[in-house]
Structure 1
């Protein structure tokens, strides 16, 4: 296939869609609340019922908040599946869907974090649908448009943002899969204790 006739929009979407449809979606299916909230180390950042966080910052608009600090401590705290999904939902997808594809404004402070694994996965599917439809609607020409002031590097093209978001999704959702792989080998899986 000639690069001049290659459908770059389809190719960029498929970078994530193939991984989602053939690996990630099946690996996330059946995520339990125990796995979602599991903390393999003490003091991990997570999503918690409002008023129970001891993190310097706890953001969120609903019954649950996400742990945070600014600046991020060094070393950064370990994060649970709940935290990682919250980050993907808000910082990676929802904020970009709002900035570029007309979705409702979203921020760490205004997001209603999921109190269950099933709700978090439903939110993830919904945000992915908006993202992938938005990228599809960009067509070829839209990929060549600068992202503008809505992003930290306004001169970069939308194609650069698409690649960045897909790297973020693959990276963080693979971390979630690794935590799921570890969970059955933990004491928490059998007796509820943190190992």
Structure 2
């Protein structure tokens, strides 16, 4: 930055925040649902936060995120949540996952009502016994991989300020959608949001 004489570090941060805001606005303007008949969606929840000396229990600024990924399309949703109970997670499932979807999860008690849900087929894997259910082949390795990639982004920034956390998740989702041509699609979204008269 100094070698190129492009301005202060604040300018670079402001531009990065602006680009993330463009990604977030795209998702607001184009709400997405994943899954549908013949599709498999893996769901899970994960805690994002700082660890003391990069190990041990998460100690502060933690945020739980609930998410799902469609195995066929690789599209996903990631939603920050304050609680991981059925009353919180089931409305999110109904909002983001299309009827007719086969949903795979671990055996977290909040998912129990999915077994009787008329719109979904629900399969589980007991992670205390197997990573892959030997009978059904059910696993949640794709959503676990999604968590790893989303958290890697957070680590490269030495953590993320809480006020920007949602926008980082939205940027991650946007990159999942446009991973083949991110810059071209970012410029296209800027042109849509800020048309030249």
State the TM-score, normalizing by the size of structure 1. 0.29
Structure with greater proportional helix content: 1
Structure with greater proportional strand content: 2
State the TM-score, normalizing by the size of structure 2. 0.29
